[in-house]
Amino acid sequence: MRVAIGTEPERPGKENEDFAAVLPGAVVVIDGASAPPGLESGCAHSVAWYARTLGGLLAGVVTDPSLTLADALEAGIERVVLAHTDTCDVGNPHSPSATVAVARATGDELEYLVLADTTVLLARSRDEPLAVTDGRLEALRGRIDGLAEGPSLWGDTRAFARLSRVEKFAAYRNRPGGFWVAGTDPAAAREAVTGSLPLAEVLSVSVMTDGATRLVDLFGLRTWSGALDLLDEEGPAGLIRRTREAEASDPDGTRWPRAKASDDATVVHWTLPM
Ligand SMILES: [Zn+2]
């Protein structure tokens, strides 16, 4: 298996809340969702703990061919909840959560799963690259940040307006009409975006956190094809370095308004055939 991994924290010295694992015929990437400082999560652990523990537990089952990728993720979430249900309030809406992306070769198929804003980028022999992501979180950002009136989930628009931005997102987390992440509800696995392609048509699979897809989907400095060229020529480190250069050129978000100047960035670039 020819795989290159790059992962870097948001800034030097900060704990990296991303996680990546490579198994025989499978790749797992997790992006822990950092909560705003001062928010009571009910959890004694860090977001990085959640991302690594979920990632490790998912890695433990993801190569089992009797499980679909959604089954594997469901089992991973069940087990990470069990890992802290005795010590933490797993019913707290701000309990640590994470986005997930998985790719797996099974028989003649390349299967993928994406939950929330991670991306699986597939280079194909016959077609343009296919970038698979789950757009529900991004759509909700647009709705909450540009909200003129109360959303459909909330009958009382005044009560909704009084909530902080964080509370608004929490109100939509793992609910129909909102967005889905790995947190404390294993049923979120059923909401993941999944699919497959004939393995013979796939040239490479790149599994990426949103800190690494910014060069394309936020900054617009590369197309997905351009990002693939960069990955093939310079590897994940090259793509992350270009991302950091772009961020450094716009430190206060004038050109590219964004919540964080930089973010933890992870890419696993898997070149096929195995
Ligand atoms: Zn905990």
SS (H, E, C) 87-155: CCCCCCCCCCEEEEEEEEEECCEEEEEEECCCEEEEEECCCCCEEEECCHHHHHHHHHHCCCCCCCCCC
Whole-angstrom distance, CA of residue 125 vs CA of residue 273:
12
Cβ contact 113:192 at 8 Å? yes
Ligand 1 center from residue 31 Cα (angstroms): 17
Higher pLDDT, residue 168 or 6: 6
Higher pLDDT, residue 40 or 239: 239
Ligand 1 center from residue 43 Cα (angstroms): 4
Ligand 1 center from residue 46 Cα (angstroms): 7
Please state which of the ranges 32-41, 166-175, 182-191 shows the lowest mean pLDDT: 32-41
Ligand 1 center from residue 87 Cα (angstroms): 6
Beta bridge partners of 5: 268
**What tokens does 173 get?**
């987390």
Whole-angstrom distance, CA of residue 19 vs CA of residue 56:
9
**What's the mean pLDDT in 153-172?**
74
Ligand 1 center from residue 74 Cα (angstroms): 18
Which residue, among 121, 125, 123, has the nearest Cα to 133 in the 3D structure?
A: 121
Largest CA distance in the chain: 56
Ligand 1 center from residue 81 Cα (angstroms): 8
- At 73-97, the pLDDT tens digits run 999 999 999 999 999 999 888 899 9
- At 9-34, the pLDDT tens digits run 999 999 999 999 999 999 999 999 97
- Give burial (CB, 10 Å; 0-12/13-18/19+) of 201: middle
* CB-based neighbours (< 5 A) of ligand 1, an ion: 43, 45, 84, 88
Which residue, among 242, 183, 237, 231, has the nearest Cα to 206 in the 3D structure?
A: 231
Q: What is the pLDDT of residue 60?
A: 97
Q: Give the domain ranges of the chain.
A: 2-134+180-251, 136-178
pLDDT higher than 60, residue 111:
yes
Instruction: Give percent of the chain with pLDDT exceeding 90.
Output: 76
Ligand 1 center from residue 188 Cα (angstroms): 18
**What's the mean pLDDT in 216-242?**
97
pLDDT higher than 70, residue 148:
no
Ligand 1 center from residue 44 Cα (angstroms): 5
Q: What is the pLDDT of residue 3?
A: 97
| Domain 2-134+180-251 part of CATH 3.40.50.150 | no
Tell whether omega for the bond before 273 is within 30 degrees of 0, i.e. cis.
yes
Ligand 1 center from residue 254 Cα (angstroms): 37
Cβ atoms < 10 Å from Cβ of 157:
13
Q: What is the pLDDT of residue 49?
A: 97
Pairing assessment for the beta strands 265-271 and 2-8 based on DSSP bridges: antiparallel
